[in-house]
Structure 1
Amino acid sequence: MILDTFRLDGRVAVVTGAGRGIGAATALALAEAGADVALSARTATQLDEVAGKIRALGRKAITIPADLSDLSTVAGLADATAAELGRLDIIVNNVGGTMPNTFMTTSADFLEDAFRFNVATAHALTQAAVPHMLKNDGGSVVNISSMMGRSAGRGFLAYGTAKAALAHWTRLAATDLSPRIRVNAIAVGSVLTSALEVVAQQPEIKAKMEAATPLQRLGEPWEIAAAIVYLSSRAGGYITGKVLEVDGGIEAPNLELGLPDL
């Protein structure tokens, strides 16, 4: 049955930024597909809530509250997951993000921090996970990039540059780690997470964003999670080094920050 190829029974995943939004939805989706899941983010109470839902599905869940901007800490998730859950098969590098900023207030340090949080964290965790994945049948890595990594909009220089770097890191890492470990990414569009709470509470702004999106709506976290299950499972087993665009069809930013000319 084709649906059986989406199953993840006997697999173990680690999801960063798993306390809410896309990370929480992904952790639940992976568990629904049969995986046990290690969850990491800053806020323990959020992780505990997600872990409770996973355990209610009959799957195992462990929580690792941590500051994932620390590269040694994020790398340590691989060993901790394998030690607690017995193996490691799937990495979802979801932690990341950078606040909008004008060009003249985007310092070199700010740009470097964006690269570190969005790219170096993914590299550190994946590199630490490789030995564990190779002990079994290989594995799958899914990185959360953004449509801003392939389009231009004012205020997104640091964020867009970092996400573009993550997308190309995906292609290069896939080449290095093939054939046993697949590496893919998702270019996410505007999704209704806590990051867009302010937008969602302002009907006029939300309506403008929806009007600028070909599908005429914003995305839902579960829609990104569904794509991650696909890329993590045998259903996506012939895909590596690709960036899957799950963005409602947008080709340009659908949120105008209103930054003036210099």
Structure 2
Amino acid sequence: MQAFQPKAFSALFDLTGKTAIVTGGANGIGKATALRLAQAGANIVIADLKIEDAKSAAKEVESFGVKALAVECNILKDDDLVAMVDKTVATFGTVNILISNAGGGGGGQEDPSKISVDDFRRDFELNVFSAWRLCQLCVPHMKKSGYGSIVITTSMSSINKSPDMSGYAASKAAVNHMVANLAHDFGPEVRINAVGPGATRTAALQSVLTPEIEARMLSHTPIKRLGEADDIAGAMLYFASPISEWVSGQTLFVNGGGVQTLD
């Protein structure tokens, strides 16, 4: 039996020459992920509604000696998704990594007696339909290139149970199961996984966080702090990199070992 020969450690996270799309990459978790992937050698496309923020983030990415492209993109518009992928391929020749991070919804404000079917549908358009469509657009390029990794941002709400979350939570639960099934469609050349952040210090959380809510969250969190964007970016890097080459169809929750909810 041949003795095990471990790969060089540096090769396990080496993304040199790879091209990564990061949606919602101008701020927060998306930006932290873009910077981590750039640090590993990937060229980065930052797709975001806020084009000036995207351009600023692209400059930071380039400080790692890689190339970056900022693209204005509304994930609810199919023409924007197609144009963004086309521009990526025209600029860099291919797509190897997709971080489908942009999303949203009305989580925490979805009183079922007050929201409409359109509100519920929008959660799915933001979090499920857009990610599925981006996969459809990117996978052919990934297969042709010989390297493909897709990571979709899901949420702890996909497994938590809380009031006023039915649409958002259901859409994120759909992401988890969609990922598990698409792994069978995309393999062996392309892997697909999901990262589910716990309570992470982003602008969205800060807008609703109070000292009382934070204290309740930490009372159920073994690692006694809230998450930072770079904590989530580390999980994104793991899935994007060769080190996870035998991992697909999985959802990894990054939550300090606990459960954090707003109620």
Which category of TM-score, normalised to the shorter sequence, fits these structures?
A: over 0.9
User: What secondary structure sits across from 1:14 in the alignment?
Assistant: strand
- Is residue 106–residue 158 contact of structure 1 (8 Å, CA) maintained in 2? no
Give the one of 119, 124, 137 matched to 2:133. Answer: 124
Measured after TM superposition, the shift of residue 198 of structure 1 is 2.5
- CA distance in 2 between counterparts of 1:79 and 1:172 reads 26
| CA distance in 2: counterparts of 1:36 and 1:154, whole angstroms | 41
89, 96, 108: which one aligns with 1:82:
89
Q: Which secondary structure does the structure 2 equivalent of 1:59 belong to? A: coil
SS in 2 for 1:62: strand
Q: Is the CA contact 1:24–1:50 (under 8 Å) kept in the aligned structure 2?
A: yes
Deviates more, 1:107-116 or 1:205-214: 205-214
Q: CA deviation at 1:176?
A: 0.6
Q: Which residue of 2 aligns with 1:26?
A: 33
Structure 1 residue 220 corresponds to structure 2 residue 228: yes
Q: Of the candidates 244, 248, 251, which is equivalent to residue 243 of structure 1?
A: 251
After superposition, the Cα gap between the structure-2 partners of 1:254 and 1:162, relative to the gap in structure 1 and judged at 3 Å, is: same
Corresponding residue of 2:52: 45
TM-score by structure 2 length? 0.93
CA contact (8 A) 1:21 1:193 kept: yes
List per-residue Cα deviations over 1:103-137 (Å, max 9, x = no partner): 21232111111101100100111101112112211
Aligned residue type for 1:203 = P
* Structure 2 residue matching 1:121: 3-state secondary structure: helix
Q: Give yes or no for the alignment of 1:230 onto 2:241.
A: no
Q: Which amino acid aligns with 2:230?
A: W
1-side partners of 2:20 and 2:212: how far apart? 39
Alpha-carbon offset, residue 67 of structure 1: 1.7
- How much has 1:199 moved relative to structure 2? 4.0
Does residue 138 in structure 1 map to residue 147 in structure 2?
A: yes
Find 2:205's aligned residue among 196, 213, 220.
Answer: 196
Distance between the aligned counterparts of 1:156 and 1:84, measured in 2? Answer: 40
**Matched residues, percent identical?**
34
- How many residues get paired? 254
Contact 1:144 1:187 in 2 (8 A): yes
Aligned to 2:3: none
Question: Once superposed, what is the RMSD of the aligned Cα atoms?
Answer: 1.3
1:228-251 CA distances to partner (integer Å, 9 max, x unpaired)? 111011101110000011112224
Cα distance in 1 for partners of 2:138, 2:202 equals 28
**For residues 241 and 205 of structure 1, what CA distance do their matches in structure 2 show?**
33
Taking the aligned partners of 1:166 and 1:72, their CA distance within structure 2 comes to 22
In structure 1, how many angstroms separate the alpha carbons of the residues matched to 2:78 and 2:257?
A: 34
Looking at structure 2, the residues matched to 230 and 38 of structure 1 have their Cα atoms a distance apart, in angstroms, of 19
Q: Structure 2: which amino acid aligns with 1:210?
A: L
Q: Helix, strand or coil for the counterpart of 2:16? A: coil
Asked if structure 1 preserves the Cα contact closer than 8 Å seen for 2:48 and 2:72, the reply is yes
Alignment of 1:155-194 (within 5 A): 155-194=164-203
Equivalents in 1 of 2:74, 2:220: separation in Å? 35
Q: Could you say which residue in structure 2 is the equivalent of 1:153?
A: 162
Deviation string, structure 1 residues 60-100 (Cα, Å, up to 9, x no partner): 00000122221331233222111111221000000112123
Deviation at 1:211, TM superposition (A): 2.0
Q: Distance in 2 between matches of 1:198 and 1:106?
A: 21
Runs of 4+ aligned structure 1 residues displaced above 6 Å come to none
> Residues 62 and 142 from structure 1, CA distance in 2 versus in 1: closer, same or farther, beyond 3 angstroms?
same
